[in-house]
Every structure is written in C-alpha cells, then in structure tokens.
Structure 1
Amino acid sequence: MAHMQKQQEYISQLDGLRAFAVALVVLFHWFPEGEGINVIANGPVGVTLFFVLSGFLITRILLANRNHLATHGLGATYKNFMFRRILRIFPLYYLTLLVIWCIQYIDFIPQVPSRLYDYPLYYLLYISNFLIEKLHDWSDVLSPFWSLAVEEQFYIIWPFVVLMVPQRFLKGTLIGTVVLGIASRGILGVLGYSDGVLMPTCLDAFGLGAIWAYVSYYDKSVEKFRKLLSILALIGLAVFLYICFNNTDSWLKTLFFRTSISLFCLYLVAGASYKKGFPSIFGKVLDNGFMRHIGRISYGLYVYHMLVPTLVVPFIIKFLHRFLHITLTFSENSLKMVSLVVLILLATVSWYLFENPFIKLKKYFQLNRVKATPTSTVISE
C-alpha cells in the first residue's frame, strides 16, 4: 500500500530551493552575461528550477484533486484549482503592470524601457512570451515576465491532463510530455522560433517535475527512481556544463540544454521534498530561516528584480536629492548592494501587506478533503 512520506502542508526545503532559483535569476540580470559569475547560464537554471518545482507541486495538488472528481465533477474541480492559482499570481502581476503603465504620465519618476506601452495586450493576457519571440527584445524591463506567461499557460492546460487521463495511462502521458518538450524545441527551431520561450518548449521541465509528483504520490518504487535520477542528474549536469563552455548554437543546445538543467533541478526538488529532505550541510542551508524567507517572497523578488535598479533606486536617489537635498552617489558595486537591500525589503513588505492577504482568501476555494486514498495530503502551493 502506498505509504507516501507523511508530508506536512509545508515542505520547508522547497522554499530554500526557491531562494536559490531567484538568486540565480537576479545574478544573471544584474551582472554581465557570459562572463565572470555568469559564465554558467544562471538565469536559465533559475527559471528551469521554478518550472520543475511548479510541475511537481501543481501535479501533486491535481493528483489529490482527482479524489474529488466523483463528488464535485471536472468543472468545479478545475475552477477551484484556477481560483487558487489566480489569488496567488494575479494581484501582484497586475499591480506591477498598473504601476509601470501609470509612471509614463509622471515626469518626476524615472521612465523605464518597456514594451508594455506599445503592446499592452500581450502583458494583460499573459502572452508576453509570444512578444519576446516576435521582437527578440530582451532590453524590456518586463522581459522576465515571459516565464510567468509560460507558467500561466501551463496552469490553464495541465489540470485537464492530470484530472482526465485514466491513472493507468498517466505515467506514459507524463513521459510523453517530457518528450514533447524536447521535440517542440526542435520543430519550433526549424520554423524559426528559437528563443525557447513558448510554453511547449518548457514542457520537459514541467513534465519531469510531474513525474516525481506521480512517483512519490503513488509510491511507485521511489528508491529505484531516485537512484536512476542520481545518474541522469550527473549526465544532465555534464551536458549542461559542456554547452555552457562551448557556447555555440547547436542541435545539442536546442534540444537538450533545458532538459539537461531540468534533470539536475529535478534531483534537487526530489531530494528536498522526499522524507525530511537533504540531511547534509546543503539541507541545513535550505532549511535556514533566511533562505526560507527569501523563498517565501521569491515571487515578489522575481517580479521586482528588474524594476529595483532601473526604477525604484533611481527614484529614491532623485527623491532624496529633490526634497531632502541629500546627494547620494554610488559605485557600480555599492549600487548593486543597495539595490539588493531595497529589493528584499520591497518584496518582504509586498508579501506581508499585499500578497498574503490574497493568499488567505484561498481558504474559500477548498474542496472538501475527501480521503479517497491514504495518500491524500495537503500540499503547499
């Protein structure tokens, strides 16, 4: 019988992983690309780790929700899932868009380069990844929102897959999802869509997370899976490093760059979410209170990290100079340190005063916990 590790609602080490993921993205965008600390493709690793995490957590939630299909039906189960996602994601996303839109009319506030002003619908409809693929403009301060668009598109489609595919076909479907992710990069690459920002091209990352959700939820030979994963993660890491240090466009890179990172990220996610997580020094780092806090506010950090150095800090400097006659000048490195402090403070305030009140509304969208199997557990989203 599926014993399934008794999981609390909150898996602490996953917040530690979120902290690593968002730190890699910030490093990637705040320091020169392809040199120094960014010789490794830190940004893609961070984003892929978020995708694998999402694939795991969302699939686990949906597997638990399968128990409610008989009593609630597909429509109510899907609606419940989407409302909970919306409460977590929409408020901060749309508030940020509103602020960026409004500052164009205020002369005193530093203006930021964004395609939001020219193509607002792409952002409003969560399809800014299509805009990136169309314009290839990575100078837009909102360009990192492509991954939020991908996540949202995944959330819309994925419940139908997990809730409707019969359990005996589910494992094959999840493996097929990984293959589809790899194949879609090849097909779209041939068609000239090679930025890798369209949702199908990310399906291998989501799908690998989903496979671990399936294996751990139904307790399908977990130890065997983890042994195999250790080997695949090492191969993935080797392929990833090879591509990083031989930075030429190739079929290997197009097809397997994201998959190679995804395998390594899956090793981290599986280790952090199985039983009590990593037991080593690494586990202690993931469980550290500060790391868990950074993970908890990681959505805000991700949303704000491009805006702090280009908008918030320049605004503070300008404000202090104009109204308090304080002139601040920073070296490039000290400006980064100030930006980091401001970013963490802003995301913390945003979490407690704005995001968390919406999250608390999730309790109104909770399917009655029908314990159809002993494995039904509540999983943190």
Structure 2
Amino acid sequence: MKHNYQLDAMRAIAALAIIAYHYTLFPCGWIGVQFFFVLSGFLISGIVIKNKKASAEVKTGAFFKDFYKRRALRLFPLYFGYIAILALFNFFAGKPEAFDKEWPWLVTYSINFRWLFQDYTFHMVYGHLWSLALEWQFYLIWPFFLWFVPQKRITLILICLLPLSMLVRIAGYSVNEHLPYLVGYNGSATAKALAPYVLPFSHIDAFVFGALLCKVKVRNFLSKPQVIYTCMALVVITGLLLVAFIPSYSLAAIGWPSNLPMAYQWVWGYSLLNLTSAAIIAGIIEKGRARILALSRSSVLQYLGKISYGIYVYHPIVIFGMLNVRDKAPAFAGKPMVELIIVTVISIVIAHLSYEYFEKRFLTKRKPQQVTNDFTSKVTQAPAERLTLELQEVNN
C-alpha cells in the first residue's frame, strides 16, 4: 500500500482539534487522540500482517528487530528530545515544578499509569505524553499478538476482542474506584472514569478496528458514504441526547467531554468513536464518495499531517507560554481565537523546524539499502524492509 497523503491530512485535523481542546476552545477536540489510536492500529497491524504472510521468507527475530528499530528511530528522538527540553527548563528555571518527581514515569513511557495516582502532579507541558506512552505500550504487545495468532481465525478473534475492551474498561473503572491511593477513590465521576481513558487495554477496540481495516471486505463496507454518515450521526445524536438529560454535559462538547464520565459513556462511547474513526479511514483508503472527506485533499493539511507528531508533542509548551503572557495584552473581541491561531502557527513552525533539522536525521537511517538492477541484490534485500516500506507508518 502506497503512502496515503489524505490520511496525513486527517492526522493534521486531529492534531489541530487537540490544540483547540487544550486551549479550552473546542471541548470535544480530545477525540483526535482516538483517531490517532485507530490509525496506528491500522498501520502497525498492516505491517505485521503483511510480513506474517511472507513468513516463509521473513524470520520472526529479523522482523521484530527491524520493526522496533524503525519505531524507535521514528518515536524516540522527538519524545526524549522534548523531555530533555523540559529537564533543562526545570534545571535553570524550576519549571515545570513537579518534573523532579514525575520524570521517571516520563522516560519509562508509563506516565499514563501515573495519572491514576492521587499524588500525581499534573502539568500541561508533559501531561499530554500519556497517549504516546499508551501507544508504545501497545507496540510492545500488539505486534506479537498479531504475529502468533492463527491467521485463519484472526478476523473472528479480532471481533471477539471488541466486547472484551468494554469489559476491560469496566474492570479499570472498578479498580480506580476502590483503591484508596487512586484518584477514583471517593473522587468525582470524572476522576472515576479516568482509568478507562488512560489505561492501555481500555483501548483494545481502537487497535482492533484499525487491524480490521486491513481486511478489504471490512474497508469496502465501512467506506460506504451511508456508513460513514451513520456513524457520525450516531456520535452527534447520542451526544445531544446526553446534553439534554445530563445537566453537567455542555453543548459546546456536543455531549462528548473528556473521560466520558456519565451514563456509562466510558463503556460504549470509545467504541463508537473508534468505529467512526475506522469508517473515515476506510473512506479515505478506498477513495469513498463521502463529500465530507474532500477536506483531506488539501495539500496544506497533508503537509501538516506529515509533521503532526511534532505538532502534538510541542504544542502544550507553546500554550503554556501563551497563558503566561496573554494577560499583558488588552482584551478585545475574539482575543481567545487570535491567541489560538498564534499558538497553532508557532507550534507548526517549531514542528516544521524539528522535522527538517532534527527528526530527519534519524528518519534517513530507516531507509533500506538501494536496490540495483542486479537480480541478486533484489533477492537478498531484507524482505522485512521491503514489506515494511509498503505501508505508511504513523507520525503520531
């Protein structure tokens, strides 16, 4: 499968929605993270399944060595580079104040678990890294699961995992509610619903929906305009119904606040969002006729999607800077929107510079050896590398 630039555009839309959410101007913008999870599930699952089908040529050890090398070269430099920036700020300026206590969780990709402890000190400049930790935790397990599961039964097994993810969310909610050192113990509804939000296995269905997209029949069905619009309508309608019946739910969030705290939305809500994300991805891959996908043809959005990993990582520190200086400017109509535009532009510029002058140094190391016209070189080129390059890899 060739690189799909329209998926890059959807990455950009998701990243921009998350920035608006963190600037408190788009309360349901956190849904962009769910889209990233499903897209990651599709791309990573595709790499594993393609190589598994060529298992006669590809040795298991060689594949996983190549897989994790490529993942590390894509994810680690920016992630740990950003943490190094935070460490420098903490050393010279004393901010973020709690970095001295929280850095071990950051460098071990476990900050999402740390979120559940009552003594966790949240700070916006590193709090968002929970989703990257969750994805990495899945990368450590999901490829092995797909590699060793019987291929003849993989579709059935994946479908069976969908309700299991709901049961896992119920289990996580119960644990968070009953352990005294966790935030859900005697906590608010939002605090109790935090575990289903940040724990890795709570999002099994996101990666399952992504993996199911590797099946042509599934993509063909989900890519139909009526399916895409039905999924989106269900998201909006259920959200509006919740707004009508739950006083704490705001219309601004369209009934989809983060953590999904009420009406057991934390059980079924993520599955609906993941299904909708899968339908959108399928529509793009199969060049569906749903007009709502036309925005993904924007070349500007496609480039922003290319650097969306950097946009996501850097934007909170830009927001933090804006929050510390915005009160110095006089108030005027539309000031928050202007501030958001400034934050977004600065985040994009930083992400662009980071991609061009830092990340690319590592990305070039992921390229396979050049294939010459010599037949021998074509045969001996690592099959794992050839097949891995056939699929677009995640930037988030």
TM-score in terms of structure 2 length: 0.78
Counterparts of 1:1-381 in structure 2 under 5 Å? 7-8=1-2, 10-31=3-24, 37-38=26-27, 41-43=28-30, 45-107=31-93, 112-113=95-96, 115-135=98-118, 137-192=121-176, 194-195=193-194, 196-213=197-214, 215-216=215-216, 220=217, 222-226=219-223, 229-230=227-228, 231-232=230-231, 234-243=233-242, 246=246, 247=249, 249-274=261-286, 277-279=287-289, 281-311=291-321, 329=329, 331=331, 332-333=335-336, 334-364=338-368, 367-368=382-383, 378-381=390-393
Instruction: Specify every segment of 5 or more residues in structure 1 that has no aligned partner in the other structure, as ranges.
Output: 1-6, 318-327
Counterpart secondary structure, 1:119 = helix
Counterpart-to-counterpart distance in 2, 1:209 and 1:71: 26
Query: Which stretch of structure 1 is more off in the superposition, 85-94 or 178-187?
Result: 178-187
Q: Aligned residue for 2:190?
A: none
> 1:283/1:188 Cα in 2 relative to 1: closer, same or farther (>3 Å)?
closer
Counterpart-to-counterpart distance in 2, 1:297 and 1:74: 31
Counterpart-to-counterpart distance in 2, 1:137 and 1:238: 36
1:77-105 alpha-carbon deviations (Å, 9 max, x no partner): 11211111111110000001011011122
Query: Which stretch of structure 1 is more off in the superposition, 223-232 or 134-143?
Result: 223-232
Instruction: Specify every segment of 5 or more residues in structure 2 that has no aligned partner in the other structure, as ranges.
Output: 178-192, 250-259, 370-380
Counterpart-to-counterpart distance in 2, 1:140 and 1:114: 12
Q: CA deviation at 1:168?
A: 1.3
Counterpart-to-counterpart distance in 1, 2:389 and 2:368: 18
1:301-350 alpha-carbon deviations (Å, 9 max, x no partner): 10011101224896xx8xxxxxxxxxx84655344333222111101111
Counterpart-to-counterpart distance in 1, 2:322 and 2:357: 18
Aligned Cα root-mean-square deviation (Å): 2.9
> 1:237/1:273 Cα in 2 relative to 1: closer, same or farther (>3 Å)?
farther
Kindly provide the amino acid, as one letter, of the partner of residue 238 in structure 2.
V
Counterpart secondary structure, 1:71 = coil
Query: Which stretch of structure 1 is more off in the superposition, 141-150 or 179-188?
Result: 179-188
What percent of counterpart residues are identical?
26
> 1:310/1:223 Cα in 2 relative to 1: closer, same or farther (>3 Å)?
closer
Q: CA deviation at 1:285?
A: 1.7
Q: Aligned residue for 1:324?
A: none
Q: CA deviation at 1:371?
A: 9.1
Counterpart secondary structure, 2:303 = helix
Contact preservation (8 Å) 1:177, 1:207: yes
Counterpart-to-counterpart distance in 1, 2:306 and 2:322: 22
Tell me how many residue pairs correspond in the alignment: 344
1:1-23 alpha-carbon deviations (Å, 9 max, x no partner): xxxxxx42x10110111011101
Counterpart-to-counterpart distance in 2, 1:18 and 1:349: 18
> 1:242/1:86 Cα in 2 relative to 1: closer, same or farther (>3 Å)?
farther
Counterpart-to-counterpart distance in 2, 1:377 and 1:225: 25
Counterpart-to-counterpart distance in 2, 1:370 and 1:29: 38
Counterpart-to-counterpart distance in 2, 1:308 and 1:99: 13
Kindly provide the amino acid, as one letter, of the partner of residue 235 in structure 1.
L
TM-score in terms of structure 1 length: 0.81
Contact preservation (8 Å) 1:114, 1:142: no
Counterpart-to-counterpart distance in 2, 1:59 and 1:362: 19
Q: CA deviation at 1:236?
A: 4.4
Q: Aligned residue for 1:321?
A: none
Counterpart-to-counterpart distance in 2, 1:15 and 1:141: 25
Q: CA deviation at 1:354?
A: 1.0
Counterpart-to-counterpart distance in 1, 2:243 and 2:122: 20
Counterpart-to-counterpart distance in 2, 1:225 and 1:353: 39
Kindly provide the amino acid, as one letter, of the partner of residue 66 in structure 1.
K
Counterpart-to-counterpart distance in 2, 1:189 and 1:144: 21
> 1:21/1:74 Cα in 2 relative to 1: closer, same or farther (>3 Å)?
same
Counterpart-to-counterpart distance in 2, 1:297 and 1:370: 23
Q: CA deviation at 1:65?
A: 1.3
> 1:244/1:113 Cα in 2 relative to 1: closer, same or farther (>3 Å)?
farther
Counterpart secondary structure, 1:72 = coil
